[in-house]
């Protein structure tokens, strides 16, 4: 009986020791107070934008650039935006472009994902089209607009084609680099657990490659948006509806510099907004859940 | 597969060994032609037995473990195991996109355990390694020792008869390692698993094993074997552990010294 008692006591000691070690070595992560987030994250970019606006206003006020057809005042641009809003046209411009951009991006996702997986996993496919896929990323997508117009005509299909050619290589390459960076240890661990073949791809390779894939999606969106703007500017055609690119082109044709600035600001704002609302949170979530996001 | 067939054709054994390693050699293509890493290793692990493989760098102990795990094939000889063995690495190798509990559930899922049973089984296994509240914890939220315990629970989830361990505690601090030695001994005695444990730490080998197998280096050969009769619970400071460790260390040093002589 004495021996069982000792075992029980030993076991109790061990449990206590273990609980102590666990408590000592676990770091409690708290959320930052809003004030700190505001001072560190929100305040600096607001100051930067305010400084740019101030410099712009100064250029106009002190008559350093004294020609509204070259540089309208911030107030004049704001007035154009406000009028477009009051006439109910503003959301129409934005929606025309954003709906095209997101739909095109969605198609690019459907094509780029299996393509990336194929390039990453099949040696022959990688050797055959891997370098071309990376090379395509450095081709400005505006180069695809003339052939797309000739092949498909002036219509929405042509816009989507240009978006696809711009975004598919980014998405596929993101997935390829994600798969390439999967630690071999995960693959070995997966194999000993019985995750081989397709099971291994589904349970181990794809989730492990997610950070690279999401980085590819983020870049893919940036490329989609740029390609679309190039397509809208070049292939401006009244029947297509007025998106932000056409707005820019219309402004140029009317020599209306305030309208040109309006369009540029809207293109920039929408591009950043989609990234901030969709892709950055997605990326942060993926990285944070894996403990890969360094605080600060 | 061929090894299992060979064993079946043989058909002379009375007791199925947890692992049977017969005249196994392994060589890799190196800069100076074929490099022999393992030379004619023969070793059995009996059901419920705890064996440690001890050796200096370059003795091919991890290579041998990979062969037993089926991650690589021997150049010559045969290896048979009773079912697919579980394997634990020096790094925890937990998947960071899953919580501690889901890591264990993935092992259960890949083994074909029904969906409604997985959660309960995972909780049980976490309790076995004394991490009851850790089900929803992410890997990065756990300490090094806790990660290795989750990895142990995941390995146990495979319900293999044989657990292979490749220096699983080498990266931990001394106190945590000592605690995990106790933990492993307890779990081994509760589950009656067979364990093949690779290490270069003599005290660790003596503290844990029933049998210590010393491998020589380049190429790895079995140099000597000791049966450890010290009763459990053992402590790393025990005189008996220390005495045997001194003896084995002398032998190990001799093996290492041989390599400096030419």
Q: What is the DSSP string of chain B?
A: -HHHHHHHHH---SS--SEEEEEEEEEEEETTEEEEEEEEEEEEE-TT-EEEEE--TTS-HHHHHHHHHTSS--SEEEEEESSPPEEE-SS----TTSBHHHHHHHHHHHTT--HHHHHHHHHHHHHHTT-GGGTT-BGGGS-HHHHHHHHHHHHHHT--SEEEEESTTTTS-HHHHHHHHHHHHHHHHHHT-EEEEEES-HHHHHHH-SEEEEEETTTBEEEEEEE--PPSSP-TT-HHHHHHHHHHHHHHHHHHHHTT--
The beta-carbon neighbor of A18 closest among B84, B93, B179 is B179
Q: Report DSSP letters for B148-212, one per residue.
A: HHHHHHHHHHT--SEEEEESTTTTS-HHHHHHHHHHHHHHHHHHT-EEEEEES-HHHHHHH-SEE
**Mean pLDDT calculated for residue range A95-122:** 92
Kindly state whether residues A172 and A38 are assigned to the same domain.
no
* Contact call for residues B156 and B191 (beta carbons, < 8 A): yes
From A14, which residue of chain B is nearest by alpha-carbon distance?
B179
**Mean pLDDT calculated for residue range A108-133:** 91
ipTM: 0.82
**Mean pLDDT calculated for residue range A170-181:** 92
Number of domains in chain A: 2
Kindly state whether residues B216 and B135 are assigned to the same domain.
no
Residues 6+ apart with CB under 8 A from B118: B105, B108, B109
pLDDT at A261: 92
Q: Is B91 in contact with A10 (Cβ distance < 8 A)? A: no
- Per residue in A47-64, pLDDT (tens digit) is 999 999 999 999 988 888
pLDDT at B95: 93
From A203, which residue of chain B is nearest by alpha-carbon distance?
B106
Question: Where in the sequence is the domain holding A52, given as residue range(s)?
Answer: 33-62
Kindly state whether residues A86 and A50 are assigned to the same domain.
no
pLDDT at A107 over 90: yes
Kindly state whether residues A54 and A161 are assigned to the same domain.
no
Pick from A189, A200, A291 the residue to mutate for testing the B interface (most B CBs within 10 Å).
A189
Kindly state whether residues A248 and A127 are assigned to the same domain.
yes
pLDDT at A105: 94
* Contact call for residues A144 and A228 (beta carbons, < 8 A): no
Q: What is the pTM of this model?
A: 0.79
Kindly state whether residues B25 and B56 are assigned to the same domain.
yes
Kindly state whether residues B74 and B106 are assigned to the same domain.
no
pLDDT at B198: 92
Low-confidence ranges of chain B (pLDDT < 70): 1-15, 262
pLDDT-based confidence at residue A176 (cuts at 50, 70, 90): very high
Residue B3 within any structural domain of the chain: no
Euclidean distance between CA atoms A219 and A223, whole angstroms: 6
Kindly state whether residues B179 and B109 are assigned to the same domain.
no
pLDDT at A294: 62
**Helix, strand, coil percentages, rounded to 5, for chain A:** 80, 0, 20
pLDDT at A134 over 90: no
Position with higher pLDDT, B60 vs A221:
A221
* Contact call for residues B139 and B92 (beta carbons, < 8 A): yes
pLDDT at A10: 60
Question: Where in the sequence is the domain holding B121, given as residue range(s)?
Answer: 94-159
pLDDT at B165: 93
- Per residue in A223-257, pLDDT (tens digit) is 999 999 988 888 877 777 888 988 898 888 988 88
Kindly state whether residues B240 and B112 are assigned to the same domain.
no
pLDDT at B97: 92
Mean pLDDT of chain A: 86
**Mean pLDDT calculated for residue range A102-107:** 94
């Amino acid at each position: 009986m004495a021996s069982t008692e000792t075992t029980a006591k030993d076991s109790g000691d061990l449990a206590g020791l273990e609980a102590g070690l666990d408590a000592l070595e676990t770091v409690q992560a708290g959320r930052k107070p809003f004030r700190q987030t505001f001072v560190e994250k929100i305040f600096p970019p607001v100051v930067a934008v305010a400084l740019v606006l101030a410099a712009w206003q100064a250029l106009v006020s002190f008559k350093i650039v004294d020609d509204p057809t070259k540089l309208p005042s911030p107030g004049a641009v704001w007035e154009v935006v406000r009028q477009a809003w009051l006439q109910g046209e503003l959301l129409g411009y934005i929606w025309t472009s954003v709906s095209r951009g997101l739909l095109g991006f969605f198609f690019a996702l459907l094509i780029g994902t299996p393509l990336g997986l194929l390039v990453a996993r099949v040696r022959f496919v990688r050797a055959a089209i891997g370098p071309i896929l990376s090379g395509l990323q450095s081709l400005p997508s505006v180069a695809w607009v003339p052939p797309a117009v000739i092949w498909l005509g002036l219509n929405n299909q042509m816009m989507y084609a240009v978006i696809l050619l711009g975004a598919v290589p980014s998405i596929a390459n993101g997935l390829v680099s994600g798969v390439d960076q999967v630690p071999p240890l995960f693959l070995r661990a997966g194999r000993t657990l019985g995750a081989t073949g397709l099971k291994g791809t589904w349970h181990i390779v794809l989730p492990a490659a997610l950070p690279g894939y999401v980085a590819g999606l983020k870049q893919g969106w940036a490329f989609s948006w740029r390609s679309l703007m190039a397509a809208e500017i070049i292939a401006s055609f009244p029947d297509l509806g007025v998106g932000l690119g056409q707005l820019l082109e219309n402004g140029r044709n009317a020599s209306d510099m305030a309208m040109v600035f309006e369009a540029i600001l809207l293109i920039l704002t929408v591009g950043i907004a989609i990234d901030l609302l969709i892709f950055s949170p997605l990326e942060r979530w993926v990285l944070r859940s894996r403990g890969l996001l360094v605080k600060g | 597969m061929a090894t299992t067939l060979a064993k079946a054709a043989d058909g002379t054994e009375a007791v199925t060994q947890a692992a049977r390693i017969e005249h196994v050699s392994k060589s890799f293509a190196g800069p100076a032609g074929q490099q022999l890493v393992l030379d004619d290793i023969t070793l059995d692990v009996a059901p419920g037995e705890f064996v440690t493989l001890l050796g200096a760098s370059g003795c091919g102990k991890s290579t041998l473990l990979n062969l037993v795990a089926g991650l690589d094939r021997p150049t010559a000889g045969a290896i048979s195991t009773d079912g697919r063995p579980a394997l634990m690495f020096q790094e925890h190798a937990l998947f960071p996109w899953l919580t501690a509990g889901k890591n264990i559930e993935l092992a259960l899922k890949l083994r074909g355990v029904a969906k409604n049973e997985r959660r309960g089984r995972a909780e049980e296994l976490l309790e076995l390694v004394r991490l009851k509240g850790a089900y929803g914890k992410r890997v990065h939220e756990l300490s090094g020792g806790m990660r290795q315990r989750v990895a142990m629970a995941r390995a146990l989830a495979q319900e293999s008869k044989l657990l292979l361990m490749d220096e699983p505690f080498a990266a931990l601090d001394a106190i945590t390692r000592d605690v995990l030695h106790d933990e492993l001994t307890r779990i081994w005695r509760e589950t009656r698993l067979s364990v093949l444990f690779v290490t270069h730490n003599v005290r660790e080998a003596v503290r844990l094993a029933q049998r210590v197998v010393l491998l020589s280096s380049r190429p790895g050969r079995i140099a000597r074997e000791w049966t450890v009769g010290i009763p459990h619970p053992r402590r790393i400071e025990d005189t008996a552990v220390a005495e045997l460790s001194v003896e084995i260390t002398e032998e190990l040093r001799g093996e290492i010294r041989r390599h400096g002589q030419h």
